[in-house]
A = this chain, B = another copy of it.
């Protein structure tokens, strides 16, 4: 380990009992690796929507203020009183952030598996990635194929495994095609590439015509726009053609989840022979995996009695499948990192730049088409 890797900057998010969010950079010592660990110099770590939950919590970012110095900027913002109850579990704890990342192994523990990674570029999962150095278990690393950069491998986990988790869940629960909302996102584009490659019917729901174009350009067959006056009919037609009876919804709030169930039921009943006052007996499922709209989910239950809505999370899914299945998914991601699972970034920033109000305002919006990559060792 080079002398200067003994400590490094780490981004921290703190919500105080007083109701103030504080995001700052702290110089922390790099833990010595145990036998099965390595120290990685982090060179690329994305800002995913799933990171923002921990980074800004329930704070109202329209109240955000910058202070500190250029080298050690500090962001503060107010958490609304009504939202403090949900933050109870993390109050007054300074928390590291960043689910996934990639970088170069600069020191290793004594095991053969650890030593074999010395000098290699690896992808990592496990939190605390918004930092210059990360001491981490070998089993939480994946060695990248030769010729793959840290930036190319940084988003190897959250989006690829989430997208694969959707098609795997679809199969395991007996559905033959699926629906995805907020579908023009990086994740949504990835899901389209998987479905095109694997021959799976995918109905993309977007909120703007421009987002529909993004998907049509990459070959998406079914794209429906929820802002269109013909949305319900368009969606029902696409559902009837694909036979999709499961949806993954990133939005959560509002009427969309219920509208999807209503259109699924209408598509199924196009072929109904007899009246059933309880609706069709085909199970219709919407999994909510994000909360772009934190408002209430409103279900107008005009879709019979054979339906479910629920939360879906990547990690419980990965715990549920077998070790062989996890290995299969991991190998697929490694092999298709530059094609199916490629991510696109609009900006690469340092840790300090990530804490500039002007940047926070952009990535904090979770807007489709804007994706930031942090290089904590950017000079």
Contact = CB atoms under 8 A, between A and B. Distances in A.
Interface of A: 53-54, 57, 85-86, 89-90, 93, 95, 252-253, 258, 269, 272, 274-278, 281, 288-289, 291, 294, 296-302, 304-313, 316
A313 B308 contact: no
Contacts of A307: 310-311
Contact of A277 (B54, B274, B277, B297): B54
A308 B173 CA distance: 15
Contacts of A57: 277
Contacts of A309: 299, 308-310
B313 A277 contact: no
Given A89-B272, A275-B89, A275-B90, A297 B301 contact: yes
Given A308-B310, A313-B306, A90 B277 contact: yes
Q: How many copies does the complex hold?
A: 2
A178 B278 CA distance: 24
B308 A89 contact: no
A167 to B, nearest CB: 20
Contact of A298 (B252, B276, B296, B302): B296
A90 B276 CA distance: 8
A133 to B, nearest CB: 24
A288 B311 contact: no
A269 B316 contact: no
B291 A296 contact: no
Given A299-B297, A308-B308, A310-B307, A277 B53 contact: yes
A257 to B, nearest CB: 9
A53 B288 CA distance: 30
A252 B301 contact: yes
B313 A305 contact: yes
B298 A298 contact: yes
A276 B89 contact: yes
Contacts of A312: 305
A296 B258 contact: yes
A289 to B, nearest CB: 8
A282 to B, nearest CB: 11
Contacts of A269: 89
Nearest to A265: B86
A79 to B, nearest CB: 14
A276 B88 CA distance: 10
23 contacts: A57-B277, A85-B302, A89-B272, A89-B274, A252-B301, A253-B301, A278-B313, A288-B301, A294-B301, A296-B299, A296-B301, A297-B298, A297-B299, A298-B299, A299-B299, A299-B309, A305-B311, A306-B311, A307-B310, A307-B311, A308-B309, A308-B310, A309-B309
